[in-house]
């Protein structure tokens, strides 16, 4: 085997990390893979002579280097598409090819009928439709025995630009669900969909985070004008519980090279960071006070990922190789206690989890990907290995850009990923043990359906089995240790399924016994369009 050249000032590569996962599937036109410092021994037979073997190792602290922590946006689209389509094939040649749709579904137990959310609402009938046609008279028409109900459907009728309007924001705080559309954020009663409040912005909303503070506050970015050349550099705090706007301010440049290209936000505790191409600035959510900003020299963070009261930075380093460095950061001061320099050519594509730290790393030159788990000290703990094509459904727009993978879910010891859903075949959710890097269980969607993780909490994974035109979706609970899924909600067939199944790339959530699904973009052609749909008992 050929030893991987060490990054600057790194300790020797530990032996025994194994070899590169098997080559990507044929037909995608990728170049042969090079040496992969993040591949882990998958425990399978040695690769045949036609597949080169490689030694690996993730280095530790080192001085820093320019080169973006993430590829430029156009290149990122290619990287993410490759990850979804084929390159994110974890594991080695010894694994049996994954075939997805031939397995019977696991038995699903129905939750007891008395498990209902507090304040069950009446159904809002005739408040919209699935395709812009006439409104249905009964959203639950065609509901079968044992199926739950549509609680309400909210539609909007707006006339906007030819490209349509973004409507990516969705936050559930207490008894309110808030939804963004264009230049507004509106709060609705979760129980019955009645409008509670609206906050108007002077220009288009252009950045946000799904996260809120413990007391229900979030921060939203908007443009400094309404022209095509307007910058996305204004921020405003919204109190989602009270339905009121808080402080507003402009995010000033930290240097002459500070470009507000594709900015996004990361929020944890009372800290929000405004991330952009080469710099980042942190503010206190409650007051708007500036906390810290990226340093002017060394390895400079351009983006932060947030969660669980923690921040980690993706920094670009000023060295000849343009290397990338991962750093921890104190949410109040920005000070770091550890760093991890990636080898030449490797970038951070996505952060699946901050606590624990789970990173999707890629090498654009060699078309390689690895999912790596770091320990509390920032050093490599393990690399995930399994067979199958995985589809974390990562956004390529402005909301939570670094963390915007809708179907990658982690808890303290497990990462849950869905496999790619091929037409007419069932996919699976795979649970990866973060301590060993190996798959510990799989749950198939069954019946040519698609299943994706939603959230992990209280020793359970909450998953969504997506709707078909003739069959409603389902919310399932799966024990973290694996086992038989339990149906928490079975959405109705008939009219409701026809609407639910037409939400494209939606925002979804399950809170207090209710499932919420909303659109992320409107055509804005002055006709009724579905915006937000809620299901419950």
Cβ atoms of 279 and 289 closer than 8 Å: no
Cα 165 to Cα 302: distance, rounded to the nearest angstrom = 28
Q: Which residues contact 376 (CB under 8 A, 6 or more apart)?
A: none
Task: Say yes or no to pLDDT of 192 above 90.
Answer: yes
Note the pLDDT of residue 128.
40
Cβ atoms of 90 and 510 closer than 8 Å: no
Cα 49 to Cα 39: distance, rounded to the nearest angstrom = 18
Task: Say yes or no to pLDDT of 327 above 70.
Answer: yes
Q: What is the pLDDT of residues 217-232, one digit of tens each?
A: 999 999 999 888 899 9
pLDDT bin (cut points 50, 70, 90) of residue 5 is very low
pLDDT bin (cut points 50, 70, 90) of residue 35 is low
pLDDT bin (cut points 50, 70, 90) of residue 237 is very high
Q: In this structure, what token pair is assigned to residue 98?
A: 């994954």
Cα 313 to Cα 238: distance, rounded to the nearest angstrom = 25
pLDDT bin (cut points 50, 70, 90) of residue 75 is very low
Q: How many percent of the chain have pLDDT more than 90?
A: 60
Predicted TM-score (pTM) of the model is 0.77
Q: In what order do the strands lie in the sheet with 205-208?
A: 205-208, 217-222, 234-239, 244-250
Note the pLDDT of residue 114.
35
**Would you mind telling me the total number of residues written for the chain in this entry?**
537
Q: What is the pLDDT of residues 97-133, one digit of tens each?
A: 222 333 333 444 444 333 344 333 333 333 443 343 4
Note the pLDDT of residue 397.
53
Residue 246: Cβ-neighbour burial (10 angstroms; 0-12, 13-18, 19+): middle
Locate all alpha helices (DSSP H) within 71-230, ordered by sequence. 73-82
Q: In this structure, what token pair is assigned to residue 533?
A: 């749909």
Q: Provide the 10 A C-beta neighbour count for residue 111.
A: 18
Cα 187 to Cα 410: distance, rounded to the nearest angstrom = 29
Q: What is the pLDDT of residues 393-425, one digit of tens each?
A: 887 654 457 898 889 999 999 999 999 988 888
297 or 316: which leads in pLDDT? 316
Q: Which residues contact 220 (CB under 8 A, 6 or more apart)?
A: 169, 180, 185, 201, 205, 207, 208, 235, 236, 238
Which helix H or strand E contains 286, and what residues bound it? Answer: none
Task: Taking residues 188-204, report their average pLDDT.
Answer: 96
Q: What is the pLDDT of residues 464-482, one digit of tens each?
A: 999 999 999 999 999 999 9
Would strands 184-189 and 176-181 be described as parallel, antiparallel, or unpaired? antiparallel
Radius of gyration of the chain (CA): 23
Note the pLDDT of residue 423.
84
Task: Say yes or no to pLDDT of 296 above 50.
Answer: yes
**Closest listed residue to residue 439, CA positions, set 501, 388, 477, 511:** 388
pLDDT bin (cut points 50, 70, 90) of residue 72 is very low
Q: Average the pLDDT over each of 105-119, 184-198, 445-459 and give the range with the smallest value.
A: 105-119
Q: Taking CA 385 as the corner, what is the angle to CA 353 and CA 450, rounded to the nearest 5 degrees?
A: 70
Q: Average the pLDDT over each of 81-90, 124-133, 170-179 and give the range with the smallest value.
A: 81-90
Q: Average the pLDDT over each of 174-178, 261-265, 347-351, 409-413 and give the range with the smallest value.
A: 261-265
Cα 525 to Cα 131: distance, rounded to the nearest angstrom = 12
Q: Is 124 helix (H, G, I), strand (E, B) or coil?
A: coil
Note the pLDDT of residue 234.
96
Cβ atoms of 387 and 96 closer than 8 Å: yes
Cα 530 to Cα 358: distance, rounded to the nearest angstrom = 35
Note the pLDDT of residue 173.
97
Cβ atoms of 452 and 426 closer than 8 Å: no
């Amino acid at each position: 085997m050929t030893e991987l050249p060490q990054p600057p000032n790194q300790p020797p590569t530990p032996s025994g990390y194994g070899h590169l996962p098997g080559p990507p599937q044929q037909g995608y036109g990728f170049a042969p893979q090079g040496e992969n410092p993040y591949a882990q021994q998958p425990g399978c037979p040695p690769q045949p002579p036609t597949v080169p073997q490689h030694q690996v190792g993730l280095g530790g602290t080192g001085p820093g280097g320019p080169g973006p922590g993430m590829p430029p946006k156009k290149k990122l689209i290619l990287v993410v598409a490759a990850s979804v389509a084929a390159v994110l094939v974890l594991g080695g040649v010894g694994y049996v090819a994954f075939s997805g749709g031939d397995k019977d579904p696991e038995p699903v137990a129905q939750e007891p009928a008395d498990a209902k959310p507090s304040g069950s609402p009446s159904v809002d009938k005739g408040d919209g439709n699935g395709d812009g046609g006439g409104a249905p008279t009964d959203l639950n028409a065609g509901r079968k025995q044992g199926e739950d109900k549509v609680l309400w459907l909210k539609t909007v009728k707006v006339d906007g630009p030819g490209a349509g309007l973004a409507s990516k924001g969705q936050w559930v705080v207490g008894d309110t669900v808030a939804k963004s559309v264009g230049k507004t954020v509106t709060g609705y009663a979760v129980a019955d969909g009645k409008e509670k409040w609206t906050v108007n912005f002077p220009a288009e909303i252009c950045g946000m985070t799904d996260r809120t503070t413990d007391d229900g506050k979030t921060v939203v970015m908007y443009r400094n004008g309404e022209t095509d050349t307007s910058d996305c550099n204004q921020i405003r705090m919204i109190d989602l519980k009270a339905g009121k706007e808080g402080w507003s301010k402009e995010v000033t440049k930290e240097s002459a090279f500070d470009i507000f290209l594709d900015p996004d936000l990361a929020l944890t505790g009372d800290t929000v960071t405004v991330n952009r191409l080469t710099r980042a600035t942190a503010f206190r959510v409650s007051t708007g006070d500036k906390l810290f900003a990226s340093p002017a020299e060394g390895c400079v963070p351009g983006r932060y990922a947030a969660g669980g009261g923690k921040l980690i930075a993706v920094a670009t380093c000023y060295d000849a190789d343009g290397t990338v460095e991962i750093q921890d950061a104190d949410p109040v001061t920005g000070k770091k206690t550890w760093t991890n320099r990636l080898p030449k050519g490797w970038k951070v594509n996505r952060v699946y989890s901050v606590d624990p730290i789970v990173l999707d790393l890629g090498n654009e030159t060699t078309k390689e990907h690895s999912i790596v788990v770091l320990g509390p000290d920032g050093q490599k703990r393990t690399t995930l290995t399994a067979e199958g094509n995985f589809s974390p459904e990562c956004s390529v727009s402005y909301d939570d850009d670094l963390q915007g993978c809708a179907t990658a879910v982690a808890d303290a010891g497990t990462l849950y990923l869905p496999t790619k859903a091929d037409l007419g075949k069932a996919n699976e959710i795979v649970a990866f043990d973060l301590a060993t890097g190996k798959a510990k269980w799989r749950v198939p969607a069954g019946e040519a359906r698609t299943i994706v993780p939603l959230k992990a909490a209280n020793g359970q994974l909450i998953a969504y089995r997506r709707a078909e035109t003739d069959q409603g979706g389902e919310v399932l609970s799966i024990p973290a240790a694996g086992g038989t899924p339990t149906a928490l909600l079975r959405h109705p067939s008939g009219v409701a399924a026809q609407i639910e199944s037409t939400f494209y790339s939606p925002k979804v959530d399950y809170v207090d016994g209710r499932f919420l699904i909303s659109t992320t973009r409107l055509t804005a052609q002055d006709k009724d369009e579905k915006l937000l749909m809620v299901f419950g008992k």
